[in-house]
């Protein structure tokens, strides 16, 4: 693969992840109820994992894979915990 094409792909991925972070942050702040905020936080965790994967591709350093697994586990556990103890929003 051509190195310049690889760098362009990583740059495009980084820009798209940044835009996704901004959109998800907006959903977390403005979300009409707590369930929308929960979905936003879950998306934020998934995009953080994508950002970490992009960093791995950029730096060719695989030591971040363990951190990715921890983030995935914490994201799953936090989502399950919040949905388990979530109360209905006041209308």
pLDDT tens profile 4-50: 899 999 999 999 999 999 999 999 999 888 888 888 999 999 999 99
Q: 4-38 burial by CB neighbour count: b if 16+ within 10 A, else e? A: eeeeeeeeebeeebeebbeebeebbeeeeeeeebb
pLDDT in the model for residue 89: 64
Q: Where do the domains of the chain lie, and which CATH numbers do they carry? A: 3-85 (1.10.287)
């Amino acid at each position: 693969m051509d190195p310049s094409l690889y760098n362009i792909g990583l740059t495009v991925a980084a820009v798209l992840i940044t835009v996704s972070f901004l959109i998800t942050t907006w959903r977390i702040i403005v979300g009409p109820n707590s369930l929308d905020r929960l979905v936003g936080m879950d998306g934020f965790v998934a995009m953080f994992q994508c950002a970490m994967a992009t960093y791995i591709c950029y730096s060719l350093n695989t030591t971040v894979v363990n951190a990715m697994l921890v983030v995935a586990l914490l994201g799953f556990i936090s989502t399950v915990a919040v949905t388990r103890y979530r109360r209905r929003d006041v209308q």
